[in-house]
Amino acid sequence: MAIGFDTCQHRHMSNSESLPMLEPETAAPCCPPLTERPLTAEEAERTAKMFKALGDPVRLRLFSLVASHEGGEACVCDISDVGVSQPTVSHHLKKLREAGLLASERRGTWVYYRVEPSVLAAMGQTLGRYSA
Amino acid sequence: MAIGFDTCQHRHMSNSESLPMLEPETAAPCCPPLTERPLTAEEAERTAKMFKALGDPVRLRLFSLVASHEGGEACVCDISDVGVSQPTVSHHLKKLREAGLLASERRGTWVYYRVEPSVLAAMGQTLGRYSA
DNA sequence: CCCCTGATTCGACATCCGTCGATGGGTTGC
DNA sequence: GCAACCCATCGACGGATGTCGAATCAGGGG
């Protein structure tokens, strides 16, 4: 299952053309601290969506595959080898997109995904100063 | 609903007796980076559990209530005003305990919850250097 | 024009999960 | 010992969620 041909492995087109980038569904200025004051109901609602998006093993692996891929982006065909069917992969990628964690763009035959850095920063800030 | 009496608001017993602390269910040395290399299936399984625990609005509020409470701990009766029934609060607190995010201890009539710092640090480390 | 490939969407299904009321177990106080 | 309170567990219910196969949309060649 999954691919079987090296049709699109590592195709970065020498990054000469600057990538246009698509917007994610949410701009997300959110995520107050977490240890300083109790979250309100709305804050918790918005913040929980992001944690929930990373709360599935398959989604976490997909996100890690995109985040760790060289160039900061990855074709779907490069990351669909996580043990589930290809429609399921597409479903999880959509969830990550809706949560604002990934952005997608179609270039010719293939669709590329990349990490949305601002949302990650917000999550890290939400976890607070325990990282010290 | 929920309480109705100020029977145990802010009772820190002047923290004279040093708190013994109970162990959480998991020691959890886990959580590799996230942007450096793709997570394995097992790593994703373990890490997703923690994110999943914070992926519910009620749990996130409960956790924030404990984390932001003075003294680093909170009685259940102080944090059970999140809009759901008391059994539901207990259910969510158990989930947070099982995920290793909270530790509980009974002192007399009341049960106190406190944050498990190491797990938070691991999650922050997992999110990587996006916080910069 | 038709077909092949990549990716999303659709419809269906089983399971998980959040929620509640009722019950039980544990402490304190009368 | 009994009543009142705090908290956890149980059993049940409805909705959300992960998964798949089949169908559909989008591009690129023959």
Q: Looking at the predicted structure, is the pLDDT value of residue B55 above 90?
A: yes
From A53, which residue of chain B is nearest by alpha-carbon distance?
Answer: B55
| Residue of B38, B51, B55 lying closest to A64 (CB–CB) | B38
pLDDT digits (tens, 9 = 90+) for B88-130: 999 999 999 999 999 999 999 999 999 998 888 888 888 876 5
Q: Which carries the bigger pLDDT value, residue B24 or residue B102?
A: B102
Q: What is the mean pLDDT of chain A?
A: 80
Residues comprising chain A, all counted: 132
Cβ contact A90 with chain C strand, < 7 A: yes
Chain B residues in contact with A54 (beta carbon < 8 A): 48, 51, 55
Tokens of B58: 């009620």
Q: Which amino acid would we find at residue B39? A: L
Query: Is the model's pLDDT at A17 over the cut of 60?
Result: no
Over residues A68-93, the mean pLDDT reads: 95
Contact B68 A128 (CB under 8 A): no
Q: Within its chain, how far is the Cα of B3 from the centroid?
A: 21
Which helix (H) or strand (E) covers residue A55, if one does?
A: none
Helix (H), strand (E) counts: chain B: 5, 3
Q: Alpha helix (H) ranges present in chain A?
A: 41-53, 57-67, 76-79, 86-98, 117-127
pLDDT at position A16: 33
Given a contact cutoff of 8 angstroms between Cβ atoms, the answer to whether A77 and A66 are in contact is no
**Which pLDDT value is given to residue B24?**
43
Q: How far apart are CA A124 and CA B114, in angstroms?
A: 21
Q: Record the tokens describing residue B16, joined without a space.
A: 């004279």
What number of other Cβ atoms are within 10 A of residue B69's Cβ? 21
Amino acid at A65: L
Q: What percent of chain B lies above the pLDDT cut of 90? A: 59
Residue A68 has pLDDT above 80, yes or no: yes
Instruction: Please determine, for residue B15, whether its predicted confidence score (pLDDT) is greater than 50.
Output: no
- Judged against a pLDDT cut of 80, whether residue B45 lies above it is answered with yes
This prediction's pTM? 0.81
The H-or-E segment that residue B60 falls in is helix B57-67
**Confidence band for A120, pLDDT divided at 50, 70 and 90:** confident
Q: In Å, how far are A7, A19, A30, B37, B84 from A129, measured between CA atoms?
A: 45, 35, 18, 25, 29
Inter-chain CB proximity A57 and B45 less than 8 Å: yes
Is nucleic acid strand C under 7 Å from B84's C-beta? yes
Interface of chain A against chain B, CB under 8 Å? 34-39, 41, 44-45, 47-49, 51-61, 63-65, 67-68, 82-83, 115, 117, 120-121, 123-125, 127-128, 130-132
Range in A79-88, B13-22, B48-57, B120-129 with the lowest mean pLDDT: B13-22
Asked if A36 lies within 8 A of B68 by C-beta distance, the reply is yes
Could you tell me if A97 and A24 are in contact, meaning their C-beta atoms sit under 8 angstroms apart?
yes
Angle between helices B41-53 and A41-53 (to 10 degrees): 170
Q: What is the mean pLDDT of residues A59-64?
A: 97
pLDDT at B130: 59
Is-contact B66 A74, C-beta < 8 A?
Answer: no
Residue A127 contacts residue B120 (beta carbons within 8 Å): yes
Q: What is the pLDDT of residues A102-113, one digit of tens each?
A: 999 999 999 999
